[in-house]
Amino acid sequence: MPRPLALPFACLLGVVLFVLSMTAALARAAGAGDAAPLVRQATVAVAYVDLTRVDAQAAADWLAAVYESNQSVPATDRDALVAQIRAGAPELAKRLQAGRDAGLREAYAVFNMPNSPMGDDPLIAVRLAEGATPDAALAALFGEAPRGDTVKVIGDLHVMGNPRQIEQLDKSTPAQRAEFDSAVGVAKDAPLAVLVVPPAGSLNVFPLMMPKLPDEFGGVDTKDLCDGVEALVLFGNGPADPRLDLHILCANPKVLADAIAKTRAALTTTLQSGKMPSGAMSPSWAKTASLLLEALPALVAGEGVVTAALDEPALRKLADVSLAPMIDARRQAERVRGASNARALLQGVMLHAAENDGRLPATLDEAAKPFGAQPEQLANLKSIPGTDGEQFVYLGSADTRLSDIKRPSEVVMLMQPVGEKPATERIIVGFADGHVEMLTVDEFRSRMKDGTIRTLSGNGI
């Protein structure tokens, strides 16, 4: 997948699974229960979505509209993320349509406990229409078909994961999980669902680690929040019925509902007072907590279940809460891409020196020559993602030999311009030994001042 499309593609796929109300109403084709062959004792959650009528453009428009009205984050960050979401929607819609045309029908994500043999990233599985060609269908959606050691066919499911996960999947057998079956019974034929099914006994750890919640949350016994909980089921039907239903299956529904109600009341009081017994209350924490309290409806205790319904206004508030984490994720992705570009350019510097009697290239354009980079690729390598056209500043010189540089791990070879950036903003700095660091402007200036890092012109040789 082209790098500029990777983040919006990932974000919008997350939106499809998280903001379930933004998908078209679907006819029954399969269901969350068809993921049963992938369920193990360590499985903690299963997400299911029917791909046949996912409306990526509607999801993008809805989320972008919610984000555009948010005033709690810097406008530049908000607008950049909204632009990425809107820009990525057509490509995502195109890929989804190509996948459907090639036979993709349903998708599943199976999450296992982190310390389990398959507990890295979630296992992704897709179901294809009868007669569909797997490689063509998967390549249509993901850009390329998975390698042989990263995909396994189980019945009519094509399961994808890293090689170790696939190997462990071969060695293990499906687990008969009563709580999973119960959760499936609640979701029934819902076109989209998330089933959280903690392994038996796993929730008992929380009361041992934290017998009571902090005072600002009411000091509730955590045993009352965990004891007897079997599964949490979140499911929805789409715009024709724009809401999500939440069902918590448990042995003591009234105890659980009362404990949650007490926690909500205490948190409301804490927010109104503006003070937290256990420490200072940050404005961002208060904002997020307030939005969550507004979005999450009261829970109703029934027979063996606690239920709640999230209408569209509640879903909008939940999406609003997700804006800051989405911006943080976007920034992190941009930093990773920027650092990767810097490493590639530094590798080019090393290769140029190896081919030119140890001499450094005069420019970054020369550093990219060993890769045979085309002009567009070179511009992408030199550019710094997430900035307004910034490019790396190269501090090398054709008059310098690489072998002449003393302590290369301390010598800056290329860097992001500092300009008028705030002291706390991070910049990308690449060193003569090929390693890259993310330093705040203040850290960079401090280390330059005390001599722990240097430039070639500042006695680096």
Query: In this predicted model, which residue has the larger pLDDT, 262 or 120?
Result: 262
Spatial contact of 342 and 436, defined as CB atoms under 8 Å apart: yes
The reported pLDDT for the residue numbered 218 is 87
Q: Mean pLDDT, the chain, as a whole number?
A: 83
From the list 450, 44, 70, the residue with the least C-alpha distance to 231 is 44
The reported pLDDT for the residue numbered 368 is 76
The reported pLDDT for the residue numbered 229 is 92
Q: How many CB atoms lie within 10 A of CB 389?
A: 6
From the list 85, 82, 109, 92, the residue with the least C-alpha distance to 54 is 92
* Helix boundaries (H) for 19-120: 56-68, 75-101
Residue 359 belongs to some domain of the structure: yes
The reported pLDDT for the residue numbered 31 is 67
Residue 404 belongs to some domain of the structure: yes
HSE, side-chain direction, 13 A CA sphere, residue 360:
23
Say how many domains are in the chain. 1
Question: How is residue 297 annotated by DSSP?
Answer: P
CA distance 400 to 352: 12
What's the sign of the alpha-carbon dihedral 267, 269, 270, 271? positive
Strand partners, 195: 46, 233
pLDDT, one tens digit per residue, over 108-141 is 999 998 777 777 788 999 999 988 888 888 888 7
Domain that holds residue 363: 326-460
CA distance 289 to 269: 12
pLDDT at 16 over 60: no
pLDDT, one tens digit per residue, over 163-208 is 888 888 888 899 989 999 999 999 887 888 999 998 877 888 888 8
pLDDT, one tens digit per residue, over 347-404 is 999 998 998 999 999 998 888 776 665 666 777 788 888 887 899 999 998 889 998 8
The reported pLDDT for the residue numbered 141 is 79
Q: How many CB atoms lie within 10 A of CB 289?
A: 17
The reported pLDDT for the residue numbered 459 is 46
Residue 284 belongs to some domain of the structure: no
CA distance 359 to 396: 10
Alpha carbon dihedral 139, 331, 285, 79, in 10-degree steps, equals: -90
pLDDT at 11 over 60: no
Strands 393-394 and 151-154: unpaired
pLDDT, one tens digit per residue, over 20-48 is 333 333 233 346 778 889 999 989 999 99
CA distance 416 to 384: 8
Strand partners, 233: 195, 247
CA distance 419 to 170: 54
Residue whose entry in the numeric block shows the structure tokens 């450094």: 360
Global pTM exceeds 0.85: no
Residue whose entry in the numeric block shows the structure tokens 């189980």: 154
The reported pLDDT for the residue numbered 328 is 82
Q: How many CB atoms lie within 10 A of CB 210?
A: 11
Spatial contact of 23 and 16, defined as CB atoms under 8 Å apart: yes
Residue 185 belongs to some domain of the structure: no
Residues in the chain, how many?
Answer: 461
Alpha carbon dihedral 443, 73, 11, 375, in 10-degree steps, equals: -50
Average pLDDT over residues 213-233: 90
pLDDT at 7 over 70: no
* Helix boundaries (H) for 274-308: 283-295
The reported pLDDT for the residue numbered 2 is 35
Query: In this predicted model, which residue has the larger pLDDT, 279 or 95?
Result: 95
Confidence of residue 461 (pLDDT cuts 50, 70, 90): very low
pLDDT, one tens digit per residue, over 294-306 is 878 889 999 999 9
Spatial contact of 229 and 203, defined as CB atoms under 8 Å apart: yes
From residue 112, give the alpha-carbon distance in Å to each of 126, 174, 196.
Answer: 17, 13, 11
The reported pLDDT for the residue numbered 372 is 62
Strands 411-415 and 454-455: parallel
Query: In this predicted model, which residue has the larger pLDDT, 424 or 146?
Result: 424
Strand partners, 394: 414
Residue 350 belongs to some domain of the structure: yes
Residue 413 belongs to some domain of the structure: yes
Residue 177 belongs to some domain of the structure: no
Residue 182, C-beta contacts closer than 8 angstroms, at least 6 positions apart: 230, 231, 249
